[in-house]
């Protein structure tokens, strides 16, 4: 092989696949950790989150997230922390809080103190949060009120959470419910919806409807952070066929995830809630048991915790 052919081979771009991405990232981790040992935790959690996205979502949602995250970094090698100690404006999903906390703890005390002083004025008013969705949200709100979570999910000093759970709710009721029932324009909106639509709507139609409604919400409430709570698996779907519906569910979650990251919004996964754990569900195979609701609330709490950091309320 000639030198020219070797040079062309070296310059050829590798296929953008998981098999190529993983060894490349492991090399990147090894090099970066030699210079910044304190970043080992951050990098490991990031790798775990990307792997979960690869396993949970179909298509290239995991790659789109990775590219969006890297594009938001202020300079090579910083990986999640700006010069002022804040995180890059890309959601970290289920692991966001752990990653942000690790980055925050690596910041010099003087920098951390100055940032907290500059941010103090924004901490005074609680962040307005609305959690909207079908019966999963309704029963989760009921469970929160009678458990250690509380209806404010432990954020009573930082947030004011309004629950809008409507049993049997389908996607077409999202905008009317939000614009009529929300006490005031929220700064954070958590949506858990779509499970009642799959089987009645094709996955593609549901995806397009969700993206269109998100656009309307952003126009109506500028600056709102949308958190998508992924559709949960079920033992019983309206179509009656579990495996095809599970595939459709993963596809919908993945496409919505991909759209959200373009706008700096967040997706919450529920990795512990699976069909392998029948005790997490009630007898109907759809609604969650108390244990299942506790896991669901925990995921909401962790996802919201990371987002509240944008207002300086996560330390």
Q: What is the pLDDT of residues 157-189, one digit of tens each?
A: 889 999 999 999 999 999 999 999 887 899 999
**CA–CA gap between residue 36 and residue 232 (Å, rounded):** 38
Q: Are residues 257 and 140 in the same domain?
A: yes
User: Encoding tokens for residue 150?
Assistant: 């509380």
* Distance of alpha carbon 194 from the chain centroid: 16
Angle between helices 290-308 and 135-145 (to 10 degrees): 90
**CA–CA gap between residue 141 and residue 152 (Å, rounded):** 10
Per-residue pLDDT, 43: 76
Q: Are residues 80 and 138 in the same domain?
A: no
CB atoms near residue 155 (< 10 Å): 19
Handedness of CA 50, 91, 145, 134 (dihedral sign): negative
Indicate the residue among 68, 101, 117 that finishes a domain. Answer: 117
Which domain covers residue 236, as residue numbers? 125-310
**CA–CA gap between residue 83 and residue 21 (Å, rounded):** 27
User: Encoding tokens for residue 106?
Assistant: 């690596």
Question: For residue 1, is it within any domain?
Answer: no
Give the number of domains in the chain: 2
With H, G, I as helix, E, B as strand and everything else as coil, classify residue 283: coil
User: Encoding tokens for residue 172?
Assistant: 């077409």
Per-residue pLDDT, 214: 96
Task: Render pLDDT for 201-216 as a digit per residue (tens, 0 to 9).
Answer: 888 999 999 999 999 9
- Evaluate whether 178 touches 203 at the Cβ level (below 8 Å): no
CATH number of domain containing 270:
3.40.50.1110
Per-residue pLDDT, 71: 65
Q: Are residues 209 and 185 in the same domain?
A: yes
Indicate the residue among 59, 91, 117 that finishes a domain. Answer: 117
Q: Are residues 19 and 99 in the same domain?
A: yes
Low-confidence ranges of the chain (pLDDT < 70): 1-14, 38, 41, 56-59, 69-124, 239-240, 312-315
> What is the pTM assigned to this prediction?
0.65
Among candidate residues 254, 138, 137, 128, the one with its CA nearest the CA of residue 189? 128
- Evaluate whether 273 touches 232 at the Cβ level (below 8 Å): yes
Per-residue pLDDT, 118: 46
**CA–CA gap between residue 43 and residue 40 (Å, rounded):** 5
Question: For residue 105, is it within any domain?
Answer: yes
Q: Are residues 262 and 283 in the same domain?
A: yes
């Amino acid at each position: 092989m000639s030198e020219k052919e070797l040079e062309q081979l070296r310059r050829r771009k590798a296929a953008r696949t998981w098999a190529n991405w993983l060894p490349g990232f492991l090399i990147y981790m090894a090099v970066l950790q030699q210079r910044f040992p304190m970043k080992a935790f951050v990098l490991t959690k990031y790798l775990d989150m990307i792997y979960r996205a690869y396993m949970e979502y179909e298509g290239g949602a995991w790659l789109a997230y990775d590219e969006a995250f890297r594009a938001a970094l202020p300079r090579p090698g910083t990986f999640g922390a700006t010069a002022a100690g804040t995180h890059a404006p890309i959601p970290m999903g289920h692991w966001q809080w752990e990653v942000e906390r690790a980055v925050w703890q690596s910041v010099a005390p003087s920098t951390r103190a100055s940032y907290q002083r500059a941010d103090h004025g924004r901490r005074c008013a609680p962040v307005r949060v609305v959690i909207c969705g079908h019966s999963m949200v309704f029963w989760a709100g009921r469970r929160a009120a009678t458990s250690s979570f509380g209806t404010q999910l432990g954020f009573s000093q930082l947030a004011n959470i309004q629950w809008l759970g409507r049993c049997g709710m389908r996607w077409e009721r999202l905008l009317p419910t939000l614009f009529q029932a929300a006490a005031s324009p929220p700064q954070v909106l958590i949506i858990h919806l779509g499970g009642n639509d799959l089987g009645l709507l094709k996955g593609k139609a549901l995806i397009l409807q969700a993206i269109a409604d998100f656009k309307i919400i952003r126009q109506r409430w500028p600056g709102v952070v949308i958190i998508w709570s992924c559709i949960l698996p079920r033992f019983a779907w309206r179509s009656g066929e579990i495996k095809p519906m599970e595939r459709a569910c993963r596809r919908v979650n993945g496409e919505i995830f991909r759209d959200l990251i373009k706008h700096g919004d967040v997706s919450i996964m529920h990795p512990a809630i699976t069909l392998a754990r029948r005790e997490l569900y009630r007898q109907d195979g759809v609604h969650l048991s108390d244990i299942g609701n506790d896991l669901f609330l925990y995921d909401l709490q962790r996802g919201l915790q990371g987002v509240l950091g944008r207002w300086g309320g996560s330390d």
